[in-house]
Chain A
Amino acid sequence: MSEAAVSHYLAEYEQFRDTLTAPWFAQPRAAALDFLRTNGFPSRRTEQWKYTDVTPITRKKFTVGRSAPAAVDDAFVDSLRFSRLDCHELVFINGSFSAALSRNEPLPEGVAVQPLQSVKPDDALLLDSCFVDGEIKNAFSALNTAFVNDGVLIHVPDNTEVAIPIHIIYISGQADATLMSNPRNLVALGRNAGASVIESFAGIPDTEYLTNNHTAILGRAGSRLDYYSIQQESQRAYHIGNTRIRQQADSRVDCHTLSLGGKLARSDIDVELDEPGAEVKLNGLYLTNNRQHVDNHTLVEHKQPHTTSHEHFRGVMNGHSRAVFNGKVIVHEQAQKTEAHQSNANLLLSGNAEVDTKPELEIYADDVKCSHGATVGQLDENMLFYLRSRGVDEHTARSLLTYAFAEEIIRDIRFPEIRERLEHSIAGELPDTDLIEEFVK
């Protein structure tokens, strides 16, 4: 199965190469193809993919869109924007930048926010270590490196704060093709710089496609980033997300990921806290239903003393869906005074839903504060009874408790407009939420 897929993508690459409008990055592409040729796609024998079978993806043989992307309904695009929050917006259709749909807001001097297509091949930024960061993790990062054709480059110079959020919207799906897109986003914050970046992934309803995204984040000393990834792909879509975060001294990254859509979604977040004082917060929420499969793998490496991580993932599983959470934390020997906290809580709404959760802690330093916990359960009977004893009917009480469980993950998002949007999206995915409107607002 995997060999057939590999030869498909090698052949696809031969055609794709001719269409490359920005033929940069030749070396890494070749290396990526080599990787693919040698290693193929992961199977369930690969430890990292033990619970996630990718054959539904490899069987599909996705292609790169060759024709101009089909027009997308304006109302659909508008529904993805934050109407009451000014954002610098970049919109992509099937992986290609659409200037017409994007909106520019004034940015501070020296800040670069541009689609990769418009980056000059010899631009020094492109060669920034966070982009060519060499390591190819698996077939999907290889595929991304080989086929990357667009994406966003964000560079915020030292001591500069970008007040308005930068919103990147990826809209995918075409009725008559099974397309793939391989966006690559680079966020590099200078010393003491600050920014908020939102990535939204959405699909034309009922279309089948693969989004294979790679985002690299570099936070230099004293920088601060608010990062959101909102995955609401079509119910038939496949989504692979790779996020690599590297942080220098006293930098802070707050990362919020929401996994709501897709038939099969796999998200990897790898964080390296490379210098003292670096702090990361990873908040994640996944809501699954029907036959959805969602897999979240996180890796946090504490490499130096006085680094901090707070990780909190929650999931609500309904129908015949399945979720996987694997949270690995490595505290290296020299990383004394590290604080690392991780928790993963899961709510199973259906007897046919399943979750595999696995915290993995490797601690090589001795003066550290670490904690982890994973729970899988149903709604709390005491809470249910309390609500019912106040006259709330059982359906409503269940819906309310489910919503409250999920909502906790997004409660401290600092932009009210983003929080409200996400509350709305969460309510849209959970059962009976029409019953709880008056509790919610």
Chain B
Amino acid sequence: MLTINNLKVGIGNKQILKGLDLTVNTGEVHAIMGPNGSGKSTLANVLAGRDNYEVMSGTVEYDGRDLFELAPEERAREGIFLAFQYPVEIPGVNNIYLLKAALNGIRKHQGKGALDAVEFLQVVREKMKLVKMDESLLNRSVNEGFSGGEKKRNEIFQMAVLDPRLAILDETDSGLDIDALKTVAEGVNSLRNESRSIVLVTHYQRLLNYIVPDYVHVLSDGKIIRSGSRELAVELEEKGYDWVRQEARAA
């Protein structure tokens, strides 16, 4: 589904991704861990189409297509969803209207008809339950005045409604209390299926107790320096990143 080849990305004069390779097959869940500033959010943003980064070299294929040829909105309609590490507040733009327009935009792109108000509300109700989202958040401006946890939950709620094929969750677990973490994890797990791929960026192996990934990668200084299974995360928790970094250097 997603093939990243020797990707180098910079901003200004600073190179952030320094030759990153990653392959995510359909139905797989990949966790990406790594120290602060190593480039995890940069990767997530570049995949979603943020244009203030400069792609210096490398390729990204999504479903056999060159991802860089698609505008951010086209990527969204093609099934890519990014849950932001820091969801932005948008005063004056109604949360639920945005979601409806987003969903109908995607459906139109897929050649499906727009949902009417009743059908849409049905979908919303169902997905709200899934992530235990408070109904009062629906009619507020997007993320405006939401607590940190509410913002994260709103991202997952949007993901559930938009039903993406490739979901990238950038530290969705950060800032969630234990109960919320469980709910969000359950929500993600229930969306897990053989046609959807999920990339989880996280600092905490705790999340991976709930959402068990197929692969764990360590991103350090702009490169994936180690990949492994679920056990790698446990090992990282015990030994820290220095251990992998040293091993990578030695190799």
Q: Whole-angstrom distance between the alpha carbons of A408 and B90 in the complex?
A: 11
Chain B positions 98-157 with a Cβ under 8 Å from a chain A Cβ: 98-102, 104-106, 109, 141-142
Stretch from A132-140, A176-184, A280-288, A393-401 that touches the partner: A393-401
Interface: B162 (CB within 8 A): yes
B158 within 8 A of A: yes
A386 near B: Cβ within 8 Å? yes
Q: In the complex, which residues of chain B have a beta carbon less than 8 angstroms from the beta carbon of A404?
A: 90-93, 141
Whether a CB of chain A sits under 8 angstroms from the CB of B48 is yes
Question: At the interface, yes or no: B84 with Cβ under 8 Å from chain A?
Answer: yes
A390 touches B93 (CB 8 A): no
Interface residues of A in 387-426 (CB under 8 A from B): 387-394, 396-397, 400-401, 403-405, 407-408, 411
Q: Which residues of A contact B109 (CB under 8 A)?
A: 391
Beta-carbon contacts under 8 Å, B3-24 to A: none
B92 near A382 with CB under 8 A, answer no
**B39 located at the interface, meaning its Cβ lies under 8 Å from any Cβ of chain A in the complex:** no
| Distance in Å: Cβ of A406 to nearest Cβ of chain B | 9
With A388-B72, A408-B91 in contact, is A439–B97 under 8 Å at CB? Answer: yes
Chain B nearest CB from A217 CB (Å) reads 30
Q: Which residue of B lies closest to A436 (CB)?
A: B101
Question: In the bound complex, do residue A391 and residue B102 qualify as a contact, i.e. CB atoms below 8 Å apart?
Answer: yes
The answer to whether B101 and A388 touch across the interface, beta carbons within 8 angstroms, is no
B72 and A385 form a contact (CB under 8 A): yes
* CB contact under 8 A between A383 and B102, given known A388-B73, A388-B76, A391-B76: no
Instruction: Identify which of residues 98-152 in chain A touch chain B, using a CB-to-CB cut-off of 8 Å.
Output: none
Asked if A362 is an interface residue, CB under 8 A from chain B, the answer is no
Whether the Cβ atoms of A390 and B98 lie closer than 8 Å is yes
- Knowing A381-B52, A383-B88, A439-B101 touch, does A390 contact B76 (C-beta < 8 A)? yes
Chain A residue contacts of B105, Cβ below 8 A:
391-393
Q: In the complex, are the beta carbons of A386 and B87 less than 8 A apart?
A: yes
Residues of A within 8 Å of B71, CB to CB, are: 388, 393-394
Q: Given A405-B92, A408-B92, A439-B94, verify A391-B87 contact (CB < 8 Å).
A: no
Which of A393, A400, A401, A440 lies in contact with B73, CB distance below 8 A? A393
Q: Does B206 contact A (CB under 8 A)?
A: no
Contact A403 B98 (CB under 8 A): no
Across the two chains, which residue of chain B brings its CB closest to A411? B92
Interface residue? A47 (CB, 8 A): no
Is the pair A390, B158 in contact by a Cβ cutoff of 8 Å?
Answer: yes
- Smallest Cβ-Cβ distance to B80: which chain A residue: A389
Contacts of B48 in A (CB 8 A): 385, 389
A426 to chain B, nearest CB (A): 11
Most buried by A among B87, B90, B93, B162: B93
> Beyond A389-B82, A390-B98, A390-B162, is A400–B93 a contact (Cβ under 8 Å)?
yes
**Is there an interface contact between A388 and B49, defined as CB atoms closer than 8 Å?**
yes
In the complex, what residues of A have CB within 8 A of residue B226's CB? none
CB distance from B164 to the nearest CB of A (A): 10
> Would you call B102 and A390 a contact (CB within 8 A)?
yes
Q: Which of A387, A401, A404, A411 has the most CB of B within 10 A?
A: A387
> Inside 8 A of B98's CB, which chain A residues have their CB?
387, 390, 392, 439
Give the distance in Å from the alpha carbon of A98 to the alpha carbon of B106 in the complex: 54
Residues in B whose Cβ lies below 8 Å from that of A392:
73, 98, 101-102, 105
For B92, the closest partner residue in chain A by CB is A404
Also in contact, A403 and B92, with CB within 8 A (given A387-B98, A390-B162): yes
Interface-centre pick from A389, A401, A404 (highest chain B CB count, 10 A):
A389
Contact A391 B77 (CB under 8 A): yes
Given that A390-B76, A394-B71 are contacting pairs, would A439 and B102 also be in contact in the complex, using a CB cutoff of 8 Å?
no
Chain A residues in 8 Å Cβ range of B104: 438
Q: How far is the CA of A401 from the CA of B141 in the complex (A)?
A: 12
Interface centre among A381, A391, A396, A400 (most CB of B within 10 A): A391
- Nearest CB on A from B109, distance (A): 8
A397 and B52 alpha carbons, distance in the complex (Å): 17
**In the docked arrangement, what's the CA distance between A162 and B196, Å?**
62
Cβ–Cβ < 8 Å partners of B65 in chain A: none
Query: What's the minimum C-beta distance from A290 to chain B, rounded to whole angstroms?
Result: 25
Distance to closest chain A CB from B181 (angstroms): 23
Contact between A387 and B90, CB atoms less than 8 A apart: yes
Apart from the given pairs A391-B105, A392-B102, A438-B104, 6 other A-B contacts in the complex at a CB distance below 8 Å: A385-B49, A387-B90, A388-B76, A389-B73, A404-B92, A408-B91
Q: Considering the complex of A and B, which 8 residue pairs feature the smallest CB-CB distances, nearest first?
A: A404-B92, A391-B76, A388-B72, A390-B102, A391-B105, A439-B97, A382-B88, A388-B73
Q: List 22 interface pairs A-B (beta carbons < 8 Å), by A numbering.
A: A381-B52, A383-B88, A385-B72, A386-B84, A386-B90, A386-B142, A387-B93, A388-B76, A389-B49, A389-B73, A389-B76, A391-B109, A392-B105, A393-B71, A401-B90, A404-B90, A404-B91, A411-B92, A439-B93, A439-B94, A439-B98, A440-B97
